A = this chain, B = another copy of it.
Amino acid sequence: MAESWSFLDTVECNFRPLVVIELAKGTKEETIKWFTKRIVDKKANGGAQLLIKPLVTENGDENIYLVGASHLRLLLGAETVGLVKECNDNSMRTFTYSSRKTFKDFEDDNHDFLTMAECQYIIKHELENLRAKDEKMIPGYPQAKLYPGKSIVRRLLTSGILVQIFPLHDREELKKLRHSWYGRVKVGYQPLDDIRCYFGETIALYFGFLEYFTFALIPMAIIGIPYYVFAWEDYDKYVMFATFNLLWSTVILEVWKRICAILTYRWGTLLMKRQFEEPRSGFHGVLGINPVTGREEPVYSSLKRQLRIYLVSLPFVCLCLYFSLYVMMIYFDLEQWALDYHRENESNFSSLMLYVPSIIYAVVIEIMNRIYRYAAEFLTSWENHRLESSYQNHLILKVLVFNFLNCFASLFYIAFVLFDMKLLRQSLATLLITSQILNQFAESLLPYWLQKRHNKRMKKRMCSQKTDTDLSLAEQVNMEKEMGTYLGTFDDYLELFLQFGYVSLFSCVYPLAAVFAVLNNVTEIYSDALKMCRVYKRPFAEPTANIGVWQLAFETMSVISVVTNCILIGMSPQVDAIFPDSKMDLVLTVALVEHLLLAIKFIMAFVIPDKPRDIQIKLAKLEFESLEALKQQ
A residues apposed to B, CB below 8 Å:
1, 80, 273, 275-276, 291-293, 302, 563, 583-584, 587-588, 591, 595, 613, 617, 620-621, 623-624, 627, 631, 633
- Residues of B with C-beta under 8 A to A80: 631
- Residues of B with C-beta under 8 A to A292: 617, 620-621, 624
A-B contact pairs, 20 of them (CB 8 A): A1-B633, A80-B631, A275-B627, A276-B624, A276-B627, A291-B621, A292-B617, A292-B620, A292-B621, A293-B621, A293-B624, A563-B595, A583-B583, A583-B584, A584-B584, A584-B587, A587-B587, A587-B588, A587-B591, A591-B591
- Taking the closest CB of chain B, its distance from the CB of A416, in whole angstroms, is 10
Provide the bound-state CA to CA distance between A1 and B291, in Å: 33
- Residues of B with C-beta under 8 A to A633: 1
- Residues of B with C-beta under 8 A to A623: 276
Given A584-B587, A587-B588: 17 more A-B contacts, CB < 8 Å: A80-B631, A273-B627, A275-B627, A276-B623, A276-B627, A291-B617, A291-B621, A292-B617, A292-B620, A293-B621, A302-B613, A563-B595, A583-B583, A583-B584, A584-B584, A587-B591, A591-B591
- Residues of B with C-beta under 8 A to A583: 583-584
- Residues of B with C-beta under 8 A to A620: 292
- Taking the closest CB of chain B, its distance from the CB of A400, in whole angstroms, is 14
Nearest B residue to A632 by beta-carbon distance? Answer: B1
Provide the bound-state CA to CA distance between A273 and B302, in Å: 30
- Residues of B with C-beta under 8 A to A588: 587
- Residues of B with C-beta under 8 A to A631: 80
Provide the bound-state CA to CA distance between A505 and B308, in Å: 37
- Taking the closest CB of chain B, its distance from the CB of A277, in whole angstroms, is 10
- Residues of B with C-beta under 8 A to A563: 595
- Taking the closest CB of chain B, its distance from the CB of A570, in whole angstroms, is 10
- Taking the closest CB of chain B, its distance from the CB of A559, in whole angstroms, is 9
Provide the bound-state CA to CA distance between A425 and B595, in Å: 26
Nearest B residue to A623 by beta-carbon distance? Answer: B276
Nearest B residue to A559 by beta-carbon distance? Answer: B602
Interface centre among A292, A624, A627, A633, by most chain B C-beta atoms within 10 angstroms, is: A292
Closest 8 CB pairs of A and B: A292-B620, A292-B621, A587-B587, A291-B617, A276-B624, A292-B624, A583-B584, A591-B591
Provide the bound-state CA to CA distance between A586 and B623, in Å: 56
Provide the bound-state CA to CA distance between A583 and B586, in Å: 12
Provide the bound-state CA to CA distance between A292 and B624, in Å: 7
- Taking the closest CB of chain B, its distance from the CB of A476, in whole angstroms, is 35
Provide the bound-state CA to CA distance between A595 and B563, in Å: 9
Provide the bound-state CA to CA distance between A583 and B585, in Å: 11
- Taking the closest CB of chain B, its distance from the CB of A556, in whole angstroms, is 9
- Residues of B with C-beta under 8 A to A1: 633
- Taking the closest CB of chain B, its distance from the CB of A292, in whole angstroms, is 5
- Taking the closest CB of chain B, its distance from the CB of A394, in whole angstroms, is 12
- Taking the closest CB of chain B, its distance from the CB of A357, in whole angstroms, is 29
Provide the bound-state CA to CA distance between A587 and B588, in Å: 8
